[in-house]
Structure 1
């Protein structure tokens, strides 16, 4: 999203994390801008019965809950490392200074946030469906929307069946069965156990 050189010029530092490391906890105060250089991070929440709900899976180039740097609210989610990860971490004050001194970057971030929110609304709308296929296709559409390539089967879905279940509120067995049906309907392809959408 933001050029690494620009982040480094404003004082960003690289941080390295391992699977299951927590970058920040739900309820903590946002103090840094984080951008993923390599690896994968999930944003999750646990409901009152302890069931995990995954709100997003973030991959290289994505920022992590940057929208909370613009308001005085606590994190509503946890950021947990899925695959060994490196982030660039920039203190909030330096992030704000960078935006003040680079108005075009500020506009780009506004556009990016707007696109993410738009697609998130669509995904949430699909998640209210009683049909498992609508829920799953909503999540796949959301993630593919950031790939830049809209051609059929061009996007390798970076989600496991369990993660899809946690994002849609479905059981893993339902996700597996529905994915097989979606493949028969030519909505997606499965190659070497990976989903292509």
Structure 2
């Protein structure tokens, strides 16, 4: 967990249960709370001018949801939608900043997490500029694997659908499917019962 659950509770956090395909916040909403995932997965997305979904990220337990928006006077640039049933700890912006003020070590942990996430995001964006679909996919795989303790080759399961991978990379689903098969044959990843291990 980015921030200890008991510490969040001490500063007024509540735990909410959210069903799949529900919205935590919408693009254009004003950030008012800090959200931390206890269980489940949440995607951050937006829709382009043609109505095509672009997935910015998929967040897992222990991660926070768009916490950096609490530090600026801007509206959310993305939607946050649940992919699975989720338990989320939610604390007001005021409570969150009080927690950081009174716990400098936690504040440092949050800064470190933000810096790491931004670094990995920059790397993924660089990969997404490539014309090669395998380079784009490797960028996404490295991004998600960086938040895991699984560092060995083929040890990390990419828990994303081919459609979600297409939305993240800007590739067509057919291209993602074809490229993943090619990457499997080249030993870059392993396919086991259609699941991707990287």
Q: Do they fold alike, i.e. is TM over 0.5?
A: yes
Unpaired runs of 5+ in structure 2? Answer: none
Q: What residue number does 1:112 align with?
A: 113
Aligned residues: 197
1:81: Cα distance to partner?
A: 0.7
1:138: Cα distance to partner?
A: 0.3
Q: 4+ runs of 1 displaced by more than 2 Å?
A: none
Q: CA separation in 2, counterparts of 1:124 and 1:188?
A: 21
Q: What residue number does 1:43 align with?
A: 44
Q: What residue number does 1:181 align with?
A: 182
1:149: Cα distance to partner?
A: 2.6
Structure-to-structure mapping, 1:71-82, within 5 angstroms: 71-82=72-83
Q: CA separation in 1, counterparts of 2:189 and 2:61?
A: 24
State the SS of the aligned residue for 1:83.
coil
1:193: Cα distance to partner?
A: 1.6
Q: CA separation in 1, counterparts of 2:18 and 2:129?
A: 34
State the SS of the aligned residue for 1:11.
coil
1:161: Cα distance to partner?
A: 0.5
Q: What residue number does 1:68 align with?
A: 69
Q: CA separation in 1, counterparts of 2:197 and 2:10?
A: 38
1:114: Cα distance to partner?
A: 0.5
Q: What residue number does 1:161 align with?
A: 162
Q: CA separation in 2, counterparts of 1:99 and 1:148?
A: 26
State the SS of the aligned residue for 1:98.
helix
Q: What residue number does 1:84 align with?
A: 85
Q: What TM-score, normalized by structure 1, do the two folds share?
A: 0.99
The root-mean-square deviation of aligned C-alpha atoms, in Å, is: 0.6
Structure 1 position 98 matched with structure 2 position 93: no
Q: What residue number does 1:121 align with?
A: 122
Alignment deviations for residues 38-88 of structure 1 (CA, whole Å, 9 cap, x no partner): 111000000000000000001111100000011111000000011011100
Q: What TM-score, normalized by structure 2, do the two folds share?
A: 0.98
Alignment deviations for residues 84-137 of structure 1 (CA, whole Å, 9 cap, x no partner): 111000000000000000001101111111011001000000000000000001
State the SS of the aligned residue for 1:43.
strand
Q: What residue number does 2:17 align with?
A: 16
State the SS of the aligned residue for 1:16.
strand
1:148: Cα distance to partner?
A: 2.5
1:19: Cα distance to partner?
A: 1.2
Structure-to-structure mapping, 1:16-35, within 5 angstroms: 16-35=17-36
